[in-house]
Structure 1
Amino acid sequence: MRIDLHTHSTASDGTDTPAELVRKAAAAGLDVVALTDHDTTRGHADALAALPQGLTLVTGAELSCRLDGVSMHLLAYLFDPEEPALLAERELVRDDRVPRAQGMIAKLNELGVPVTWDQVARIAGDGSVGRPHVASALVELGVVDSVNDAFTPEWLADGGRAYMPKHETDPFEAVRLVRNAGGVAVFAHPAAVKRGRTVPESAIAELAEAGLDGIEVDHMDHDPDTRARLRGLAGELGLLVTGSSDYHGSRKTCVLGEFSTDPEVYGEITRRATGAFPVPGTGGAA
């Protein structure tokens, strides 16, 4: 059983529509895929409508959080998308994305980069605009060679020359909101140092005490030694261990199913969730 619990579509910063994503997941031999767009559940309906037979969809979102000045992401699975408190917080984060992107564009213009809002908006399409869309604009303009190359202090990394902060949820509050909405909370790529500063392991222990369910260990941004260390930490703290691709379509080099989650862990996630339930595909739209 192959399970990938972290993917993105055009509802946020992926390049595949939700329908394309689930079809590609089935073609890649996955049995279960989670759609976890940034701070939104807007792609779920289209994914469900196109869900192929033999593939199960786990609905979710990747929540933007910040702890002591360090950006971090929380994967929320199988929560009630209409629960008022969590919905209001997601909307607050999402609504801050446009002025943030416009601020980054202004900084880039000051640095002599001729990026425009129209260009970034075109790249984002119907998705929630974010740094990867600005990064893609830099690639289009030939400023950098790849999206990853834009996430450096030279450009868009936290604290970088063109960086702009946005509203991000306190992770302890995020865990509380997810759990109150019947969901399961997993810390995404907690040791992805290439993305910038990471929170200390002592904070992961505190989050575990506050109700965090698990940590994403098997991820492209964790080398083997890091994965081994995180697996040991999860064992000490009684946290679930997940693995996933963090697939973004053509915007990143990772492929669907590159890393996966143990079926027993997936079973425990579904047992803990009360806000929503995995949906098995029945054929989907043509």
Structure 2
Amino acid sequence: MRIDLHAHSNVSDGTENPADVMASAARAGLDVIALTDHDSTAGWDAASAAAVEHGVALVPGMEVSCRTEEGISVHLLSYLHDPKHPGLLEEITKAKDARHTRAERMVTLLAEDYPLTWDDVIHHVAPGATLGRPHIADALVAAGVVEDRSEAFASILTSRSRYFIQHYAPAPAIAVELVRAAGGVPVFAHPVASSRGRIVGERVYQEMIDAGLAGLEINHRDNPEEGRRFLRRLAGKHDLLVTGSSDYHGTGKPNLLGENLTEPDVLARIEELGSGTSVIRPF
């Protein structure tokens, strides 16, 4: 069984709509795919209908934006949570609104040096989508400033750039608690992806574990091998689930569906732990 537990649609920063993500998963030979858009579950219904059409099981999920007190970005995957849980919904709505405000401020700064307007950015945002830096990157590509998203993030939109502005996000441990309260299964996404920016130390891991962290996304292209060894030791010590995934974004990133996979017994454990919603199976 081929299981990929991390993919994005244009509800956040992917380039395919939720139904097309399911179609792509079928073409890639996947049996199960998780839709984990940033701070949004708006793609679940369309993906669920497409799951039946394309014969691929759907794990309803979300990627929650978090930030430590030191300002380090942390992403938390939530599987099978209740999308209407008041506490979690309030927090992700707050974070989603903050992303929008941050994007407006970044575009204002960028417009001082590049041919970029707010309308240029909005053109690349699907209705109701969680707005983020990838949409600014797409506008910069369209303007001929950079060749692709990767170049934009490596230069103009890096967290070290003068154009970068942080946005509100809950502390990782708080996010873990909220996901658990919503009946979800919290898994730390690409924890040692140092190429993306600063990574957390062991204190944050322990805080998240104490709050109810269920697993670590270890098999991910952005986790270097040395970091994976550390994560495997941590998972063994604390009996954490080990997941693998592509972090697919359509044409928005080079990541390919199924390039990293999760074992069936891990998915079975996620289903045992999750109580907010269920895996959508086409059979």
TM-score if structure 2 supplies the norm length? 0.95
Map 1:153-192 to 2 at 5 A: 154-192=155-193
| SS of residue matched to 1:151 | helix
Query: Sequence identity, in percent?
Result: 48
AA paired with 1:19?
Answer: A
Task: Output the amino acid matched with 2:7.
Answer: T
Q: How does 1:84-123 map to 2 (within 5 A)?
A: 84-110=86-112, 112-123=113-124
Q: Is the 8 A contact 2:193 2:224 kept in 1?
A: no
Q: Is the 8 A contact 1:205 1:237 kept in 2?
A: no
Q: Give the match for residue 3 of structure 2.
A: 3
Residue 217 (structure 2) aligns with: 216
Instruction: Tell me the alpha carbon deviations over residues 154-176 of structure 1, each in whole angstroms, 9 at most, x when there is no partner.
Output: 42222421111111111111111
- 3-state SS of 1:280 partner: coil
CA contact (8 A) 2:23 2:54 kept: no
Which of the residues 76, 79, 82 maps onto 2:78? 76
How far residue 229 of structure 1 moved from its aligned partner, in angstroms, is: 2.5
Q: Which range moves more in the overlay, 228-237 or 182-191?
A: 228-237
Cα displacement string for residues 181-215 of structure 1 (whole angstroms, at most 9, x for unaligned residues): 00000010011111110111332122112210111
Q: Deviations over 1:81-118 (max 9, x none)?
A: 011111111111111222211111011122x1111111
Alignment gaps of 5+ in structure 1: none
Please state if 1:14 is matched with 2:28.
no
SS at match of 1:124: coil
**1:124 paired residue number:** 125
Q: CA contact under 8 A between 1:38 and 1:61: conserved in structure 2? A: yes
Tell me which residue corresponds to 1:136: 138
CA contact (8 A) 1:53 1:280 kept: no
Q: State whether residues 98 and 167 of structure 2, in contact with CA within 8 Å, keep that contact through their aligned partners in structure 1.
A: yes
Q: How many angstroms apart in 2 are the aligned matches of 1:90 and 1:144?
A: 31
Residue 195 of structure 1 is matched in structure 2 by 196
Structure 2 equivalent of residue 64 of structure 1: 65
Q: How does 1:225-240 map to 2 (within 5 A)?
A: 225-240=226-241
Instruction: Return the alpha-carbon distance in structure 2 between the equivalents of residues 114 and 99 of structure 1.
Output: 20
5+ residue gaps, structure 2: none
8 Å contact from structure 2 (residues 107, 116) kept in 1: yes
Distance 2:141 2:229 in 1: 34
- Structure 1 window deviating more from structure 2 (204-213 vs 271-280): it is 204-213
CA shift, 1:124, in A, is: 1.3
Q: Supply the AA of the counterpart residue of 2:146.
A: V
User: Which aligned segments of 4 or more residues in structure 1 are displaced greater than 3 angstroms?
Assistant: none
Asked if 1 retains the 8 angstrom alpha-carbon contact of 2:22 and 2:54, the reply is no
User: How far apart, CA to CA, are the structure 1 residues paired with 2:81 and 2:100?
Assistant: 26
Distance, in Å, in 1 between the alignment partners of 2:250 and 2:202 is: 31
1:2-29 deviations in Å (ceiling 9; x for gaps)? 1000000011110010000001111211
Letter of the aligned partner of 1:140 in structure 2? A
Match of 1:41 in 2: 41
1:36 and 1:60 in contact (8 A); partners too: yes
TM-score scaled to structure 1, two decimals?
0.94
Aligned length: 280
- Give 1:53 shift: 5.0
Q: Which amino acid aligns with 2:229?
A: A
| Deviation of 1:141 (Å) | 2.2
Assess if the C-alpha contact under 8 Å between 2:174 and 2:211 holds in 1: no
2:21 is the alignment partner of 1:24: no
- Give, in whole Å, the separation in 1 of the partners of 2:206 and 2:264: 25
